[in-house]
Structure 1
Amino acid sequence: MSLSIPLLNKSRASGDRRGAGPQAAANGTDMVTPPKIPANDSLPPATRTVALWAGIFAALVVAVLSLPLVFSGPDQPEAAQPEPVLTPQNAVELCQQLFEEPREYLDDAARRRRWDLRHDACKMAFEANPANADLKAAYARNLPYEKKTEAIAMLREAASQGSAEAYFQLYEHHRSWDRGDLDKVPLVTRAEADQALRKAAELGHPAATSTLAALLGRGTTVRRDPAAARYWAERAVQARSATNGGLLVQLGSLLATSDKPDERARGLDILEKLNAPGHYQYGAKRELALAIRRDDPVRARTLLEEARQPDPGGAIVPLAEMLIAGEGGPSDPKRALSLLKGTRDSWMAKGMLGQLTLEGKLLSRDIQEAVNLIDRASTYDFDARMQVVRLLAEYPETRVNNPKGTLYYAVEAAELDEPGALAALIKLKLSANAQFQDRPGACKLIETAVSRGDQTMAQRLADCRAN
C-alpha cells in the first residue's frame, strides 16, 4: 500500500461512523454497509447501472481504507529497539558496539543518549581492566575535546602497548583537528600521524589499511607512492573482505595503472568482473573506462556515458575530455561544457572548468576565476593543489579564499619532498603575491633545498646570505 494510506486510515478512524451498520457499531468494528441507491424510474437503465456500481466501488474504497494497515517486505518499519541497560557484564560489548553507526535513524536526543551510554560503557570497561590497551584507547576516544591532551597521552600509551586502534586514533586526531593552519601547534604532528597510520595498518587495522592505501595514491599526510598504494590496497581487501566492492574498485584501478603487465592485467580482470552483466558496483564502470581509455576509446566512452547518471562526479570529467577531443567518437565541445556546468557538486567538474577558463579557448580566459575553480578541486586533488601554488606565484594579483590552508598543504607537500613541491613553494614566497610573500621564509626553504642536493638553488642561497 502507498505511504499515504496511514494518514487516510487515521482520518477515517477519528471521524464519524455514519456509513456503519448497527451490528458493526455493536462489535466495535469499521465494517461499512454499502449505501442504498434509491430507485428512480426516470433514469435510463444504463445510468442506473453506472450509479449502482459507483456506489459499490465507493463503499469498497471506504472499507479498504478502514482495515488495519499491514506492512510486509523491506518497507516494514522496524519497531524501536529498547535502549540497553549498562551492567558490568555487558560494558565491554556495549563499548565496542556503540562505536558502530546505527542502522536506524536517530534524532539528536537519541544520538546524544547513545554517546553518553558509550562513554559510560567504555569508562566502566576500562576501569575494570585498566591494563587492556584497546579499552584504554576506547575510553580515550570518548573524552571530550577539552580533555584532548589527556586523551592523546592515553592513546600514545595504549599504542606503545600494541593497540592498533590507538595508533589509528592518533592519525584520526591529526586529520580531524591538527591540519590546515601552520600557526596552530598540533597535538599530533603530521610526522607522528604518518607513522601511526602505517603502524596501525601493519597491525592489521582494517580502516587504517584502506586509508593508507588511499593516501599513498592521492597524497596528503603521507608521501605518494603508487607501488605502496597497490600493496596496501591488496591488504585492505584481505582485511575487510574479498567481497567488499568499494575496496575491489580501488584495488582494480590501482593495479590497472601499474607499469607491470601482470599487475595491469589483474586490475583489468577485477574491474571487468565488477562490471559483469547483472552486477553493479559504484565506480567500477568509470574506473574500467579510465583503464581502457587509451587502448579502446570507443568502449571507454560508451562506459562513461552509461556511468554518467549514477556516477556524475566521477564519469562526467573524463567523458567531457573525450567529447572535446573527439576521442572515441564525434567531437562535441558544446555538450561537454553543458555536462560540466550541470554537475554542481563535483569538485572534478569545477577543476576541469578551471582548466578551460585558464586555457581560454572554450571559455573566456579569466585567471582569477580559474584559480577559484581549481582551488575548489584542490581539496581532493594533489595536482590541483600544486597548480594553485604555481598560479599564485605566476599571477601575483590573484587571491585564494583560504590562504592559511593553501600554505599549509604547500608546506606539507614540501616537507614530504613531493616532486616539485619545494621549488613551487619557494617561488610563491619569493613572488609579489601579498597573501604569500615571505622572503626570509623562502631563504630558509632554499637552505633546505640545497641540503637535499638541489644545486640549482645554490645561487639563490648565496643571494639570500648576501642580503
Structure 2
Amino acid sequence: MVRKFLSGLLGGITPAARFRHACRLLEHEGRSAQGFALLARLARGGMVAAQYQVARAYLDGSGVPRSPVEGVRWMHTAARAGHVEASFSLALMLLVDPPGHGGDHRGADGLLPASWPGGIDRWPDPEAAAGWARQAAEGGLPDAQALYGYLLATGPQSMRDPQAARMWCERAARAGCPQGDLGLAVTHLAASDQSPGTDPDAVAALIRAADSGLSTAQYMLGLLHERGWGLPPDRARAEHWYACAAAQGVRPAQARYGALLLEDMDGRPRNAMTAETWLRRAALAGDREAAALLGDLHAHGEAALPGDHEALIWYHRAAEQDHAVACRMLALLYMHGRGTAADPEQARHWLARAAELGDVAAMTDLAAALVAQGQQAHSDPGLPLPDFLPAAQAGDPVAAFNLAVCLRGGVGGVTDPVQAASWMERAANAGVVNAEYWYGRMLLDGEGVATDVAHARHWLERAAGHGLAEACVAAAQLRLEGRGGPRDHAGALALYHRAARSGRTEAMFSLGAMYGGGHDLPPDRGLALHWFTQGAEGGNALSQLMLGRYLARGLAGPMDRARARYWLEQAAACGVRAARDELDHMTRTDEHAPT
C-alpha cells in the first residue's frame, strides 16, 4: 500500500525534479545505487542530462560497478544530443589512450565491445576530439574553448589554425578560465615564426595561468625564467616554478628542479639529497636527462647510497633513450669494469653511439679506442675493424672524422697523413668539433698538410668556442705566444679558465703561471697559489713543482716546508728534474740550519 502510494506520488513529480532527486541520492554514500537506478531510467527515456550523469557514474564507479565501455557509450550519446559538458568530456577522452587496461580497448569490466559507439572509429583521435571540443566551445564552455584553441595550435598539421586558436583562447581567458591563459601562451610558443617570450601578452597570460595553479604553466614559466625568454634570467624564480610544477607531478619540471638543486645559488647551497629524490621520480617516469644526472650522482659518490652498479643502471636508462653523454659514461664504466665486469665490446659500442649522437668527448675516446684496436689488429689479423669509408663518402661527417683518425693512426695497417688531413678537413667544415681541433693541430704541426699557423689558430679557436677543453688549451697557448695572430694575454687567460673548469690540469698550471707574474696581467700570487694547488691535486707534475716552490719560499703566505717537500717529492716521482734539485737544495739548507 505504501509502495503504491509512493509510486503514485513520484509519478506526479516532473522529470526535472526526479533528475535532481536522483543526483542527490547518487551523492549519498548509502543510497548511490538507488540514485543511479533512477538516473538510468531517465537516461533510457531520452533525458540528455541524465545520460551525461550515467556516463560519469559508469566512469567513476559511483552507484554502479565501474565500466569505461558503458561510460564511453553514454557519454557519446549525450554529446551527440548536444550536451556541452559531455562533448567536452568526450573530447578529452579521445585525446588519451582508450579506456581500460593497457590500451587494449577493454574496460575495467573486462568486456571487449564489438565496436565503439557510432562515430568513434579509432582511439585516440585528435581530429574527432577537436570536433567535439568545438561543439562544446560554441556552446559557451570556457574550458572547451581553451581546449579547442590548444588543439588548433598544436594538433595535427591538417587542422592547425593559429589565428582561430588565439581567438578561442582569448575568449576562454576573458571568461576567467586559466586554461585559456595557458592556451594563449601555448599558441605563441607553438608559432614557428616567433621566438619564445617575444609576445608580452602571451607571457602575461602564462603568469596568470601559473598563479592560478596550472602545473603546465608553472613549468613553462620556469623555462622562461631559466632561459631568459621574455623575462630576465632568474634561476631562483625558475627553481620556484619548477618546484611548484614538480609537486603536481610534471615530469620535466621534476627533472629541471632536481638539476637546479645540484647547482650553488646565492643564498641556497647545493642540495644533492633533495635533488636525488626529484630526479629519481622523473627518471622512473621516463625522463632521460634525470636518469643521466642520477648516474652522475652515483658515479661521483654523491647519492644517498652511491655505487657504480646503480650508476650503470641509470646510465643505461638514459643511453637507451639516446642521451649522448650517458652513452659515453656507460662506455667508461664498461671500459674500466666499474659496476660490472670490464667489457671492451660494450665500451666501444656505447662510445660509437655517443659519437653518432654528436658527443664531442666520445669522439676523442672513440678515436683512442680505434687506434688501440688497430694496434691490436697487427698481432691479431682476424680482429674486425670498422669500415668508415662508405659512410664518409656518403657525407656522414662523424664517419669522416673516424676515417681520418684511422688513417692518421694507422688503424687497419694503412697510414696516410694526406688523406687523413683531407677527411679531417671535411669533418671540420661539417661542424664536428673534435675534427676542428684535430685539423687545427695538423695545420699547426704540418701533418699531412702544409704548416699554416694562422689557419691552425682559426680552427683551434673555433673548437674552443664550442667548449672543447683541449682546443681551449691549444688556442690559449697561441694567443699567449702571439702565433698565428696578435698576442692576447687576457684572451688566453679566459680560455685557460674555461679549460680549467673542464678539469684540464695543464690549464690550471698555466693559470698559476699567468697569475704569478711576467705577463700582461697584474700579478696575483694568491690566485697563482690557488691554481697551482688545483693542478697539483689533479696530478699535474709542473703544478706540483710550483706549489712546492711557493710553499717552501712563502711566496703567497706563510712558509710550509713540510707540505713543500711533499709536493716536490710528488713532482720528482713524475720525473721533473727541477723538483729533485729543489729537494736537494732544501736538504742542504736544513742540514746547515742552526739547531
Structure 2 length normalisation: TM-score? 0.45
Determine whether 1:337 maps to 2:424: no
Determine whether 1:445 maps to 2:521: no
Q: Measured at CA, do residues 291 and 98 of structure 1 come closer, stay the same or move farther in structure 2, by a change above 3 Å?
A: farther
Superposed displacement of residue 96, structure 1: 9.8
Q: Which residue of 1 aligns with 2:403?
A: 319
Superposed displacement of residue 457, structure 1: 1.7
Between the aligned partners of 1:273 and 1:450, the Cα distance in structure 2 is 36
Q: Which amino acid in 1 is paired with 2:529?
A: I
Determine whether 1:122 maps to 2:206: yes
Q: Which residue of 2 aligns with 1:427?
A: 513
Q: Which residue of 2 aligns with 1:388?
A: 475
Q: Which amino acid in 1 is paired with 2:346?
A: G
Q: Which residue of 1 aligns with 2:336?
A: 258
Between the aligned partners of 2:549 and 2:393, the Cα distance in structure 1 is 54
Determine whether 1:350 maps to 2:436: yes
> In terms of mean alpha carbon deviation, does 355-364 or 400-409 score higher?
400-409
The answer (yes or no) to whether the contact 2:197–2:224 under 8 Å persists in 1 is no
Q: Describe the SS at the equivalent of 1:362.
A: coil
Deviations 1:139-197 (A, max 9, x none): 24346667426x4342243466666737737978x99xxxxxxxxxx9879x9699998
Q: Measured at CA, do residues 407 and 324 of structure 1 come closer, stay the same or move farther in structure 2, by a change above 3 Å?
A: same
Q: Which residue of 2 aligns with 1:82?
A: 161
Q: Measured at CA, do residues 167 and 98 of structure 1 come closer, stay the same or move farther in structure 2, by a change above 3 Å?
A: farther
Number of matched pairs? 352
Unmatched 5+ stretches in structure 1: 1-76, 176-185, 217-222, 275-280
Q: Which residue of 2 aligns with 1:139?
A: 221
Q: Describe the SS at the equivalent of 2:422.
A: helix
Determine whether 1:308 maps to 2:392: yes
The answer (yes or no) to whether the contact 1:156–1:170 under 8 Å persists in 2 is no
Between the aligned partners of 2:487 and 2:311, the Cα distance in structure 1 is 35
Determine whether 1:108 maps to 2:193: yes
Q: Describe the SS at the equivalent of 1:420.
A: helix
Between the aligned partners of 1:389 and 1:193, the Cα distance in structure 2 is 35
Decide which of 280, 283, 290 is 1:209's aligned counterpart: 290
Between the aligned partners of 1:405 and 1:192, the Cα distance in structure 2 is 31
The answer (yes or no) to whether the contact 2:332–2:347 under 8 Å persists in 1 is no
Superposed displacement of residue 421, structure 1: 3.4
Q: Describe the SS at the equivalent of 1:141.
A: helix
Structure 1 length normalisation: TM-score? 0.54
Between the aligned partners of 2:478 and 2:310, the Cα distance in structure 1 is 34
Superposed displacement of residue 428, structure 1: 3.6
Deviations 1:407-428 (A, max 9, x none): 4453355467653332121224
- How large is the RMSD of aligned CA atoms in angstroms? 5.5
Q: Which amino acid in 2 is paired with 1:355?
A: R
Q: Which residue of 1 aligns with 2:253?
A: 165
Superposed displacement of residue 268, structure 1: 4.9
The answer (yes or no) to whether the contact 1:323–1:335 under 8 Å persists in 2 is yes
Relative contact order (alpha carbons < 8 A, sep ≥ 6): 1 or 2 greater? 1
Between the aligned partners of 1:252 and 1:310, the Cα distance in structure 2 is 29
Superposed displacement of residue 126, structure 1: 1.6
Between the aligned partners of 1:193 and 1:78, the Cα distance in structure 2 is 43
Between the aligned partners of 1:396 and 1:228, the Cα distance in structure 2 is 47
The 5 Å alignment of 1:339-378 reads 339-343=423-427, 344-346=429-431, 347-378=433-464
Determine whether 1:457 maps to 2:547: yes
Between the aligned partners of 2:312 and 2:185, the Cα distance in structure 1 is 26
Q: Measured at CA, do residues 391 and 301 of structure 1 come closer, stay the same or move farther in structure 2, by a change above 3 Å?
A: farther
Superposed displacement of residue 456, structure 1: 3.6
Q: Measured at CA, do residues 114 and 403 of structure 1 come closer, stay the same or move farther in structure 2, by a change above 3 Å?
A: same
The 5 Å alignment of 1:65-80 reads 78-80=157-159
Deviations 1:77-108 (A, max 9, x none): 94251344334264597599779x86xxx542
Q: Measured at CA, do residues 147 and 318 of structure 1 come closer, stay the same or move farther in structure 2, by a change above 3 Å?
A: closer
Decide which of 256, 267, 272 is 2:346's aligned counterpart: 267
- Highest CA radius of gyration, 1 or 2? 2
Q: Measured at CA, do residues 356 and 167 of structure 1 come closer, stay the same or move farther in structure 2, by a change above 3 Å?
A: same
The answer (yes or no) to whether the contact 1:209–1:232 under 8 Å persists in 2 is no
Between the aligned partners of 1:166 and 1:362, the Cα distance in structure 2 is 51
> In terms of mean alpha carbon deviation, does 400-409 or 423-432 score higher?
400-409
Between the aligned partners of 2:489 and 2:187, the Cα distance in structure 1 is 39
Q: Which residue of 1 aligns with 2:563?
A: none
The answer (yes or no) to whether the contact 2:437–2:463 under 8 Å persists in 1 is yes
Between the aligned partners of 1:402 and 1:95, the Cα distance in structure 2 is 49
Deviations 1:91-128 (A, max 9, x none): 597599779x86xxx5425x679967863553233222
Q: Measured at CA, do residues 363 and 142 of structure 1 come closer, stay the same or move farther in structure 2, by a change above 3 Å?
A: closer
The answer (yes or no) to whether the contact 2:515–2:528 under 8 Å persists in 1 is no
The answer (yes or no) to whether the contact 1:156–1:167 under 8 Å persists in 2 is no
Q: Measured at CA, do residues 323 and 386 of structure 1 come closer, stay the same or move farther in structure 2, by a change above 3 Å?
A: same
Q: Measured at CA, do residues 159 and 272 of structure 1 come closer, stay the same or move farther in structure 2, by a change above 3 Å?
A: closer
Between the aligned partners of 2:451 and 2:394, the Cα distance in structure 1 is 32
The answer (yes or no) to whether the contact 1:357–1:365 under 8 Å persists in 2 is yes
Q: Describe the SS at the equivalent of 1:336.
A: helix
Deviations 1:431-458 (A, max 9, x none): 7554xx3422x54231464598757424
The answer (yes or no) to whether the contact 1:256–1:267 under 8 Å persists in 2 is yes
